[in-house]
Amino acid sequence: MDSVSVSFDSSPDSIARPRHDWTRPEAETLYDLPFPDLLFQAQTIHRRHFDPNRVETASLLSIKTGGCPEDCGYCAQSAHYDAGVKATKLMDRDAVLETARRAKEAGAGRFCMAAAWRHPKDRDLDRVCDMIGAVKALGMETCATLGMLTPEQARRLQQAGLDFYNHNVDTSPEFYGKIITTRTMQDRIDTLAHAREAGLKVCCGGIIGMGEQVGDRLGMLLLLANLPAHPESVPINLWNEVRAVPVNDTAERPDPIALVRMIAVARIMMPKSVVRLSAGRQYMTDELQALCFVAGANSIFIGDLLLTTKNPQTVRDAALLDRLGMTSPLDGAKAPATSLI
């Protein structure tokens, strides 16, 4: 990316105040800062809103896997591709609840339930709402990602006790059409608005490494940062290798420093949002994860699997955080004998 020179107030005091009017030149200027300056600014802002030595933990369960009618070009669960994922029916409540119990014992503070749907049917939503109530009774935060929602469905989830709704934008508006054709970016924005209007907190981020350019990554952050309210959680996913999906033809793993720069820019532009290192952490060294924490990331998923892809083992995460002198709900937690998922 060419260097740009823009006059704007980039002092920590100014940027620490949430804004919703970020411009592309501002985002590029931040991204292009000398690495020590960028990390210093991000860490300064991070400390204004979070304990810099604490990492939030969550667990993710696929409660309905595969057979999705969407054609997302990165997804093993799409019915359009033969990625070797067997379609399943919606899980039973008791099985979900038992997995949530084990996740809590392993140190997860939030339990996320994902279903591979374009949108939930009302009869399925009844069952999901029952699951939400049961998990809430365990004392855990709840999150769900079920596809597109109507306003009424969002209200039902909120009344059932759901805390967060996840619906990622995936990438920039400019790159979006190259990876998905069955759902528009506006469809995603509308669902986010329905969740917000229903009183749900929003979890929304995207994926990098699908062949997009740095400008697309910044475009995704600009989209999120300029929403009427910043997402409370911003998951940043690295592309996970999946067989037989179109993204395989364009995917390229991001340079580690480029990833840290993106985390830092996300922290600066959305100072009060939790920034989560999500899918793809199995490709990251301990040193790279440590740099991401310094840049403002403060949440991870635990468990051996994330939906259908691998994730670092919980014992490795606990050991890394211990080496860094950082705390999390993993401290003193019971390590699971088998995968949480």
What pLDDT, on the 0 to 100 scale, is given for residue 330? Answer: 77
Its sign, for the CA torsion 142, 64, 145, 283, is positive
The two beta strands, 141-145 and 164-166, are parallel
Residues with Cβ < 8 Å from 231, sequence gap 6 or more?
Answer: 192, 202, 203, 204, 205, 224, 270, 273
The reply to whether 292 belongs to the active site is no
Q: Which of 68, 129, 204, 292 is catalytic?
A: 68
Given the residues 102, 276, 281, 292, the one annotated as active site: 276
Cα separation, 171 vs 298, in Å, equals: 21
pLDDT for the residue 223: 98
Give yes or no: 75 in active site. yes
Question: How confident is the model at residue 308, as a pLDDT?
Answer: 55
> In the chain, where do the E strands start and end?
56-64, 110-115, 141-145, 164-166, 201-203, 206-208, 233-238, 274-277, 299-302, 305-306, 309-310
Q: What is the pLDDT of residue 331?
A: 73
- 204 catalytic residue (yes or no): no
- The catalytic residue among 102, 110, 112, 188 is 112
Per-residue pLDDT of the chain (341 residues; tens, 9 = 90+): 444 433 344 455 555 578 999 999 999 999 999 999 999 999 999 999 999 999 999 999 999 999 999 999 999 999 999 888 989 999 999 999 999 999 999 899 999 999 999 999 999 999 999 999 999 999 999 999 999 999 999 999 999 999 999 999 999 999 999 999 999 999 999 999 999 999 999 999 999 999 999 999 999 999 999 999 999 999 999 998 888 999 989 999 999 999 999 999 999 999 999 999 998 899 899 999 999 999 999 999 887 655 555 666 788 898 999 999 998 887 755 544 333 33
What confidence score (pLDDT) does residue 340 get? 36
Query: Is 129 tagged catalytic?
Result: no
Q: Which token pair is 253?
A: 């793993």
Residue with tokens 């054709």: 181
Catalytic residue among 129, 156, 183, 203: 203
322 CB contacts (<8 Å, ≥6 apart)? none
- What the chain holds in terms of domains, given with CATH numbers, is 33-324 (3.20.20.70)
Given the residues 129, 143, 204, 292, select the one marked as catalytic.
Answer: 143
